[in-house]
Amino acid sequence: MTTVFPKNVHLISTSRFINKGAGKACTFVNGYADFNLATHVGDDLSSVELNRKRLIQHYNLPSVPKYLEQTHSDICLDVSSAECLGDAVVTSDKNTICCVMTADCLPIFASNSNGTQVGVAHAGWQGVVNGVIESFVARFNQQELIVHFGPAISQDNFEVGQDVYDQFIAKEDSLAQAFILFNNKYKLNIYQAARIILNKLGVENISGGDQCTYVQKDKYFSYRRDGLKSGRMAHLIWMK
């Protein structure tokens, strides 16, 4: 399904390389590549601050994004809040940028149908279990939402244990559909799990879900692939 956001709504998922689109050579020096945007992953802070300035310039952003301290919670904030601890953010203000960061977790972009409210959520498996999708959707004034899934890890590369499976099933029986049994463990389809929850909340207009951060090394950061020294992509949404 192709989701069309209102014309005044803009969304971006960054790459791990700022210059790849310009045809320049990409060198895998470390897991941070050259466009890590997170300050909490051990990268040189001066490099991260430079990248955040480059982000604004490269995409001609109308303002500085609101960066969250993400903890896999169910907390959804308004972008105007002085608080930064949360895993989803929404706004009804024009030219104000909502932002989350990921390196395998699922970014969920959303807009109401008339383009007067937008937001983005960070939905890893823990956030999904903790209810971040429900909290995110509940913050919208209009429930006719348009949703797009940004890049996340694919089911083929997302192996989890019995404990994770049990937490999903305790939350909602139908989430069993998002798992396949594999060598006494499970493989989780985080895209499908999110879709099941969104559908239950009445959200049907959903696109995306065809990327894999783990496999697409030349494009995305992946914590499962690169370990502790993995950078983070930024996922931005705003209204003109």
Tell me which residue of 132, 128, 151, 147 sits closest to 233, measured CA to CA. Answer: 151
Distance CA 184, CA 1 (A): 34
Q: Does the pLDDT at position 27 exceed 70?
A: no
Distance CA 96, CA 43 (A): 27
**What is the third-level CATH fold of 9-151+212-239?**
CNF1/YfiH-like putative cysteine hydrolases (3.60.140)
Residue 141 or 158, more confident: 158
Segment 48-60 shows an average pLDDT of 94
Average pLDDT, the chain: 93
Give 220's pLDDT tier (boundaries 50, 70, 90).
very high
Predicted pLDDT at 144: 87
How would you list the strands of the sheet with 159-160, edge to edge? 159-160, 185-188, 179-182
Predicted pLDDT at 3: 66
Using an 8 Å Cβ cutoff, are 34 and 19 in contact?
yes
Q: Does the pLDDT at position 1 exceed 50?
A: no
Q: Does the pLDDT at position 23 exceed 50?
A: no
Q: Does the pLDDT at position 57 exceed 60?
A: yes
Tell me which residue of 145, 104, 112, 11 sits closest to 65, measured CA to CA. Answer: 11
Domain limits of the chain? 9-151+212-239
Distance CA 121, CA 152 (A): 13
* Amino acid of residue 49: E
Q: Does the pLDDT at position 6 exceed 80?
A: yes
Give 94's pLDDT tier (boundaries 50, 70, 90).
very high
> What are 74-83's pLDDT values in tens digits?
999 999 999 9
> What are 112-149's pLDDT values in tens digits?
999 999 999 999 999 999 999 999 999 998 768 999 99
Q: Does the pLDDT at position 22 exceed 50?
A: no
Segment 54-62 shows an average pLDDT of 95
Min mean pLDDT across 1-15, 78-92, 156-170 is at 1-15
Distances (CA, A) of 81 to 62, 134, 232: 19, 20, 23
Q: Does the pLDDT at position 233 exceed 80?
A: yes
